[in-house]
A = this chain, B = another copy of it.
Amino acid sequence: MSWVEALFRPARVAVYGSTAEGKIGHVLIDQLLAGGFREIVAVNPKSHGIAGVPAVRSLAELPTDRSPIDLVVIASPAATVADVLDDAGQAGAKAAIVITAGFSEAGDAAAERQILEVARKWDLRVVGPNCAGIVNTRHALFPTLETRPPAGDVAFVSQSGALGGAVLSWAEEQGVGFSKFASYGNGADLTEIDFLGALRDDEESKVVCLYLETVSDGRAFLHAAADLAAKKPLIVIKSGRSESGSRATLSHTGSMAGTDAVYDAALRQCGAIRAAGIEEMFDLCRAFVSLPPMTGRRIAIVTNSGGPGVLAADRTESVGLDVARPSAALRERLRKRLPAFSAFENPFDLTVQGDGAAYRDVLTEVLAEYDGALAINVNVPYLDSAPLAAGVVEAARMTDKPIAASFMAGAPAAAARPVLQDGGVPNFATGERAVRVLSLLAERECVRERLARSPKGIGSDVATGSKPLPWDRDPLEPEAMAWLDRLGLPVIEHRWVRDAEAAAAALRSFDRPIAMKVVSPSILHKSDRGGVLLRLSSERETASAFRRLRVIANGIGFDGVLVAPMIDDAIELIVGLSTDPQFGPVIAVGLGGIFTETMRDLALRVAPVSKPEAHAMIDELRGRAILDGVRGRPPCDVDALANVVSRVSHLPFEFADIRELDLNPVFCHERGCAIADVRLLRKDAAGNEQEEAHR
């Protein structure tokens, strides 16, 4: 029997812990019974059963002629949990839920390791400790302290027990039913990754929701999540957006590591839909369990009132839906079907005279031309809203495109709600919320197609690189440039000079103004130290520049000067590689120059990325249009840039020990691009960090 079967479909369940009034063991047995599950045994030192549930001191006492104990639920004191698990394992249990707290979350990691050892001994899988239990509504199984939710098609996995409980409590009111629920607490054994794997193949769960504070293993999570998302919608609430990390500036891409932006990129890459909070999660669940796919982004809004229609239309732009105008043919067809007072533009205003047939007919007509529709109704208290809802439901039955509803509000819309719910048309408190959900329905189709094209998910089969870097310390900039050049990456033409005469020679050979940069192992941010001098065009200037640069590195290691021609007519970008503590190598590309820091216009991915994916990153930039050539500039060679991004993103999978690689700027020309500044940090080299810290 698999742990999934034992946990969610046990034949019999044992509950460890005191069954005295008010004790957790008591609450658990009450919940199990109230939920309709009868095959329960209580296990406690006093052998004290309640409500007809038999009790033993140990499972060893149990007669063996009955069905086996597949699952045990443990609410006994923390100090007893290891022994109790041993008892359960001996009796053949294959899954355990440890409600009891007081382990790693309270600083006692040793006790948690001990639990794990016992579990491994008996090949018994553990949920928790410090968790809120699980639910399987299809098995009438509620070993949890939380509200028993209505049955439905949504599975929900929560790292936080309390937040999980809030969701279950709210479900009835929100009109969302659950198939399964699991709170995995400290995740000593089973984690979100195991549950994603189990729920992928769970026929009873059409949609999977996950509340996450941290992932246990970034790459394994991405793999499991992408695997699930290829089959069904995965909705994730990830908290911790505002952690200190996200406040870091982007002066170098290394500071992206560990921030919410990396989680955000990772979640998008694995095809998860990130919900802003619990309310949006419920909105999404209602839509995904009942609506057909939305295969495009053109949306028709059919309303009986201007104001709410406009408010909904207002929202479409920010979520990337298109309230496109109808074709002349469609307008003509609508004109024939509807009275003259109706509006034939999008939003389509049926006016207060729109009845059920009008909703049905207009929705049916517009869906011949649009990818989805929103039916808004503002009812007046003296009219019955049910027939209007029935018209919407009829239209939904006649189409294979999604129709969402927003029947507003309070008492006048009460009669409509059950009609919509029974008819499988999700209803939203406002049209704006419906629009947001429809946009994510459309997004889901893009995700599904993307995952179908590359089924293996992100980075599931990439190992860390094995080649050594050619230095046993962080390289000097000219060394790193030469190395990138050997790897075939486009590096700007440059000279590494040791005296002013060589600098002057470089100026002559380039035959245009030059830039000079100090080379020193102790100086990371050259600009901030005055270590970059630009637009030097005479021998007098280069000589003076050389002197200044030597002074800057005086006493901290002066390794000459890097000379390169001035580039004034290219767009500057930044390409950066960093190492995230959760997800490993992360690649970023953004607009460069002084705007990087202030505009934060970066696209991020967990590395590696293919060239098409690199193109997708570039297309995400808010300032993307700059690359197409504005104000008479020629367009940039975006393909060459995408090459650099993709190639750089693969480097950590080829070479060991790259912690951070910053290319800033990369000049993007009409043809080709050129890396003009390189900073490479090794994983094991901490020396430079000190300089950093003292700045």
Known: A241-B317, A278-B430, A314-B240. A305 touches B160 (CB 8 A): yes
- Copies of this chain in the oligomer: 2
Q: Is A601 an interface residue when CB atoms closer than 8 A count as contact?
A: yes
Identify which of A57-65, A409-417, A687-695 touches chain B: A409-417
Binds B, one of A121-129, A193-201, A495-503, A620-628: A620-628
In-complex Cβ contact of A308 among B166, B279, B311, B601 (8 A): B166
A323 close to B239 (CB less than 8 A): no
> Are A27 and B382 touching (Cβ within 8 A)?
yes
Residue A633 interfacial (CB < 8 Å): yes
A282 to chain B, nearest CB (A): 10
User: Contacting chain B: which of A36-44, A224-232, A526-534?
Assistant: A526-534
Confirm or deny: A381 has a beta carbon within 8 angstroms of a beta carbon on chain B. Answer: yes
Q: Which A594-641 residues sit within 8 Å CB-CB of chain B?
A: 594-595, 597-599, 601, 622-626, 630-633
Give Cα distance in the complex from A240 to B277, angstroms: 26
Contacts of A165 in B (CB 8 A): 378, 380, 412
- Does any Cβ of B come within 8 Å of A163's Cβ? yes
Q: Is there contact, CB below 8 Å, between A408 and B169?
A: yes
Question: Contacts of A461 on B, CB cut-off 8 Å?
Answer: none
A410 touches B169 (CB 8 A): yes
Q: How large is the interface on A (under 10, 10 to 19, 20 to 34, 35 or more residues)?
A: 35 or more
CB < 8 Å neighbour of A162 from B306, B599, B623: B306
Q: Is the CB of B163 within 8 A of A305?
A: yes
Tell whether A108 is near chain B: CB-to-CB under 8 Å: no
> Which among A170-178, A462-470, A482-490 touches the partner chain?
A170-178
The answer, yes or no, to whether A316 is at the interface (CB within 8 Å) is yes
Q: Which of A304-331 contact B (CB under 8 A)?
A: 304-308, 310-311, 313-317, 323
Pick 28 A–B contacts, CB within 8 A, sort by A: A27-B382, A145-B380, A145-B381, A160-B308, A162-B304, A162-B308, A166-B305, A167-B409, A169-B381, A169-B409, A170-B409, A170-B410, A172-B410, A213-B306, A237-B311, A239-B307, A239-B314, A242-B314, A242-B323, A276-B432, A277-B311, A527-B632, A528-B631, A535-B568, A598-B623, A598-B626, A598-B630, A599-B622
Q: A411-431 interface mask toward B, CB cutoff 8 Å, 1 = contact, 0 = none?
A: 111000000000000000110
- B314, A378: Cβ atoms closer than 8 Å: no
A594 & B626 in contact (Cβ 8 Å cutoff): yes
Closest-by-CB residue of B relative to A630 is B594
Q: Output the least CB separation between A175 and chain B (Å).
A: 12
Residue A341 interfacial (CB < 8 Å): yes
Using CB atoms, name the residue of chain B closest to A106. Answer: B341
| CB-defined contacts of A163 to chain B, threshold 8 Å | 305, 307-308, 311, 378
Q: Which of B237, B279, B380, B633 contacts A146 (CB 8 A)?
A: B380
Please state if A382 and B145 are interface contacts (CB–CB under 8 Å).
yes
Q: Which residues of A contact B (CB under 8 A)?
A: 27, 106, 145-147, 158-160, 162-163, 165-167, 169-173, 211, 213, 237, 239-242, 246-247, 276-279, 304-308, 310-311, 313-317, 323, 341, 352, 378-382, 408-413, 429-430, 432, 527-530, 532, 535, 568, 594-595, 597-599, 601, 622-626, 630-633
Do the beta carbons of B172 and A594 come within 8 Å of each other? Answer: no
Chain B minimum-CB-distance residue to A349? B162
Are A630 and B597 touching (Cβ within 8 A)?
Answer: yes
Complex A-B, nearest 5 residue pairs according to Cβ-Cβ distance, in ascending order: A160-B307, A162-B305, A163-B307, A170-B409, A241-B314
Residue contact B160 to A306, C-beta cutoff 8 Å: yes
Q: Check A599 against B601 for contact (C-beta < 8 Å).
A: yes
Contact check, B601 vs A378: say whether CB atoms are below 8 A apart. Answer: no
| A381 & B146 in contact (Cβ 8 Å cutoff) | yes
Complex alpha-carbon distance, A311 and B162, angstroms: 12
A530 to B633, CA, bound (A): 9
Q: How far is the CA of A247 from the CA of B601 in the complex (A)?
A: 20
Q: Is the CB of B166 within 8 A of A378?
A: yes
Which of B304, B527, B594, B598 contacts A622 (CB under 8 A)?
Answer: B598
How many angstroms from the CA of A145 to the CA of B632 in the assembled complex? 59
A410–B147 touching, CB < 8 Å: yes
> Most chain-B Cβ atoms within 10 A of its Cβ — which of A147, A240, A411, A624?
A147
